Amino acid sequence: MTTALTASRKATSRSLYQIAFSQFRRHALARFGLVILALLYLSAIFAGFLSPYSPTEYESGSNRVSWAPPTSVHWRDAQGRFGPVVFGIKREIDEVTFRDKFTEDRSQEYPLKFFVHRPSAPYRLFGLISTDVHLFGVSEPGNVYLWGTDNLGRDQLSRVLNGGQFSLAIGLIAALISVGLGVLLGGIAGYAGGWVDVTIMRLTEVLSAIPDLFLLITLRAVFPVDANPILVFYLIIIILGFVGWGGIARTIRSQLLSVREQDYISAAVALGAGHSRIVSRHMLPNTFSFVIVAVSLIIPSYILLESGLSFLGIGIVEPYSSWGSLIRVAQDGGFESITGRPWVLIPGVFIFFAVLGWQFVGDGLRDAFDPRKRQ
């Protein structure tokens, strides 16, 4: 009887992470957040394939179509035949505002094709496979701008999708660096104590006493203004990770200070376990639930921070783009960006959904690991 009861308990017992996963699946908003994030990250991963043009490609001279509105896709051509087509773009002068006005040129008709080759817009799929196949496009000299163009006549859809690669990657990688530094230094401070603890905690207080924006601008100013944009990308990741580890380190330290006095830690010390084994195998696993939740909640803050830096002109620079730098282009257009060309505000919608998705996932993880909110 006792053996059967023990076997039954083993069969029905679940670990903390199994229980948390079960609770997370019941959280409707968390599931919705995962769907949003999956769509955003997939669009960033396959940005080259989904984009009809290169993010830096534009027409020169009189063929440039700056601030062109979104291209309308028609399902019947001029002869009434069924099939997606777009018409040419004709530039006119508005007689009231004396500014460029773009209208459809019905004399130029271009069928919308799928899986087209565009040699002028090659890309690397997954960063490895070189190809020029795009999901859709039209034959030259036609153009299709589903989300309009920017001030230089570049396709807004292509720049938003490719800009998501930078914005989403910066948020994710910077959060991992920040949490990694916080766990490492917080773990050392909480376990070692003494002057090591004092030194690390004073360093976190110094960092927290300096305004984040001021510190980021100062650190960015150390590097040359004409630095390679890709190098700037990595520098921003390092700077963001360096700035944000203090709060994580404090929390990890406080948790380890309480764990350090537990009996099983004393037993591990008595058995001769080394310091690294005690910290990595017995103490840090108690902080994993906090770390998982912290990562999901820190990522959106880094996405917003990067967007703010790029908006101020000290983040991702031309010819590359991030959602923040694209919003800056919209800001350069002034109030007309809202009334006359609202399509330039589309990057802000992507920022909103990225932050919203991570917040929903973070709330779901926090509730999943909270015993008081289990269903």
Beta-bridge mates of residue 136: 114
Instruction: Identify the pLDDT of residue 43.
Output: 93
Its pTM stands at 0.84
What are the mean pLDDT values of the chain's consecutive 10-residue runs (375 residues total)? 50 70 85 93 92 82 77 78 83 72 82 88 83 88 86 88 88 86 86 84 83 73 71 75 82 80 75 73 74 84 83 76 83 65 87 92 82 64
Q: How far apart are CA 215 and CA 225, in angstroms?
A: 17
The first and second tokens of residue 363, run together, are 């709330």
Nearest 10 degrees: Cα torsion 66, 67, 68, 72: 150
Q: With CA atoms as reference, report the closest residue to 240 among 351, 316, 161.
A: 316
DSSP code, position 149: B
Do residues 52 and 155 lie in contact, with contact meaning Cβ atoms separated by under 8 Å? yes
Instruction: Identify the pLDDT of residue 5.
Output: 47
The domains of the chain are located at: 62-153, 158-373
Do residues 146 and 132 lie in contact, with contact meaning Cβ atoms separated by under 8 Å? no
The first and second tokens of residue 318, run together, are 């031309």
**Torsion sign over Cα 311, 316, 318, 322:** negative
| Other CB atoms within 10 A of residue 100 CB | 14
Q: With CA atoms as reference, report the closest residue to 15 among 363, 366, 285, 361.
A: 285
Helix axis angle for 28-45 and 346-369, nearest 10°, is 130
Instruction: Compute the chain's Rg from CA coordinates.
Output: 27
Has domain 158-373 been given CATH number 1.10.3720.10?
yes
DSSP code, position 302: H
